[in-house]
Every structure is written in C-alpha cells, then in structure tokens.
Structure 1
C-alpha cells in the first residue's frame, strides 16, 4: 500500500445500510399512505406483474425512503496494525427504533471534521446517502454537515461511490457489488442471506443480528472492491476486525 494511497484513505468511512418496509404489512399503513403506495405501485408495476399492491409493498417498500426505514448501518475504515500491515475494522449500529439509530450514526459522523470526512458506499449517491438524509429529516433530525449536500456542485462533494467509479462515465451500466466481488475474486457477502431477504428476516424471523452480520460483510466486500479499484492488494482475512 503506497504512501499516496494511505493519505487517500485516511479520512475514508465505508458504509452500507439495510432497510426494511416501514411496517410489517400494507394493512398496517394508514389510509393516506395506502393510497399513496397504490399510486407508487401502479407506476412500478409491469404489464406481466400479477402481484397485489400489498405484496409489492412488502417486497419493495424498503427501497423507498418514504415507505421504508433503516434498521442497520455498518461502517468501516482502513488502518495499519502494530506490524504495519494494512487492516480493516468494521462495526455496525442497529436499532428497532430508527430515530435512535440515526441519531447514533449522526453522532459518529460528527466526530470527524466535516470538510475532511469522505463517505463511500456502493451506489451510495443514489441510495445510501439520500436514504439516510431523507429518513433523518422525516424524524426531525438535523443533517450532519457531511450530509448537507443540497445545492452543492458535484466537485464540492467528497463522497465516493464504487459503482460510479466502476462506470468510468458509462451511465447505461449498473453493476452490483456482488458481481464486482466475483470478478475480483473476493468472497461473497451473500452466503447467509441476500438483500431481498432483509424485510422477511426482520419481521418474520425477528433476527436483527443476522441482518447486521450481512451488513457488516457487505462493508468488508465494499472495502476490498475499493482496494481493487485502485490496484491495491486485498486485506488479508486475519487483518479484518469485525465488531458486533
């Protein structure tokens, strides 16, 4: 790992969020929100889609900040261990009380200088960053300075996105984190579960820790992909520290 790259990652915070539908079922939405979801589902539904609006809410509500909520935020950063070896530390915050979870994450972000902290996520600019901002505002939480990006020009925003980095200007292409992990021969984070299982695992299995393990492993994969995008060696498994 070169000295130049070490400087690049000094203030880098890698992150991933896991979201679920806002409530266990469509029937738990109030009447106004049901009507608004019906409109949303109508726009999302393809001609061959036979699912009901209720089924679509349970399966897709988590994708939209207006109809979903955050249950876990995992984050990590690179560091050099006592032997001078590149290492990675990953931990997660989780809470069934979303407002408390977001305040805890905000407090973490505010420990860093806002003009130096660089957030990085896969598809973060389209999903993770705006989702966090929207949910914070919904709960009346003032955005931390590092997420106050409204009205800023692209070059004024330090955040990075591994999907955007992989596109190299090709806006027609979407490449999943799992696909990038595969082509770079990085172990998958999908061994225990996959993203489409988060809502059922939360509401049916009541297993938030399982979701957190999955979220932390996504950050591990994100970190390794980030290294590959800069032609750096992967972090050896013994040098990856996972904190529950």
Structure 2
C-alpha cells in the first residue's frame, strides 16, 4: 500500500474528531489561598481564603507571611499571593455598581425634565411647609386678638374689687381687721397678766417687763403682717388693673 495514501486516510479519519473536540476556554480569576497553621507551607491548612479577601499582614519571613483575616484567624500564607491593591475583578464590580448608580440618576433627571408642569419634590415640600406656616400664623393672630380683648376687659374692670368697693376702701378694711386683731392680742396678754400670782415686788416687775416685751413682740409681728398684707394686696390689685402684669 502506498504510504502517502495511508497517511492521507489517517489524517482524514482523525480530522473530524479534532475539530469537534476543540472549544474556547478562559482561566478563572478566582483563587483560593490556604492559611497554614505553622510557619511551614506544608503544615495543616486551617482555612481557605478566596480572591479579594482583605488581610492584615502581621509579619513577613522570606516567601511567606503571617496574616490575620477579618474573622480574626491568624496563620501563614504564601506571600506570592498577596498584593497591595484590590484585584481587578473587585474593581470591575465596583465600577459596575457606580455605573448603575449614575444610570439611575440620569433616568431620574430625564424623568423630571419630561414633566415640566409638575414641580419637583423639593418644591412641593417647601410649598406645603409654607402653607402650614401661614395657617399657624393666622391661628396665632386670632389668639393674639382674643388675648387683647381679654386684657382690655381686665383693664376696664380693674379699679373695682369683686366685692364692689374701691381699692382704697379694701385697703382700709384690711387695716381695720389688722387693728382689731392687734387689740384682741393685747386683751389676751392683759388677761394672762391678771391671772399670774404676784408673790413679791421683784416677781411683779419681772412679770410686767415680760408682759411688755410680749406685747411689743406681738405688736411688731402684727405691724409687719399688716404692712406685708397691704403691700401684697396693692400688688395684687395693681396687677389686676394692668391685666396680670406687674408695673
């Protein structure tokens, strides 16, 4: 058999299998790094970390490095798998997220431009707030008007006391009541002094001086009470005259 013919037949027989078995493939960018328990890379692996894991480098010794992962696991890895910047896959994912956010923002702006008759949300919020403030202002004006009317009525009725008398008449009545109380206190002191037995002139002198001091003390207290009561009454009536304000 012709050797060239044999090679041609063999090539034709093998060609379909070679073409059918061929396919396109890419090397995956995912990498798993083993975290070793000891400083030796042949020691037991405690954990496997995927690509993009952020690590804290505790120490470096030649071609290996001691790291600490986000969970707090500490171990040794091959330093060749460590890099200072984030992997390209993570950066690409972040760029995709940023692009999506920008696209959403552009669509929102285009939507707002497409409806020129409708005000933006910020304008609506300001309009509602302005309307509410106007309502509060109107209510405040109405309340102020009511207070002014009440104040005018109080000023009009201030000179007359609830009993129908004038301010001077009420002060005079209060002073008369205080004088009556003072006279009653003096009478009580005299009655007590008369009931005390007098055994000697010295005792009578002591009793008289003690009674005089008591009378002066009671008199001073009553005068203070009368003065204070008069001031309080005048202040009260004065405030009523001026609508509750002290002048």
If the TM-score is normalised by the length of the shorter chain, which range does it land in?
A: under 0.3
Instruction: Return the TM-score normalized by structure 1.
Output: 0.16
The structure whose Rg is larger is 2
Task: Name whichever structure is richer in strand by fraction.
Answer: 1
TM-score (norm 2): 0.16
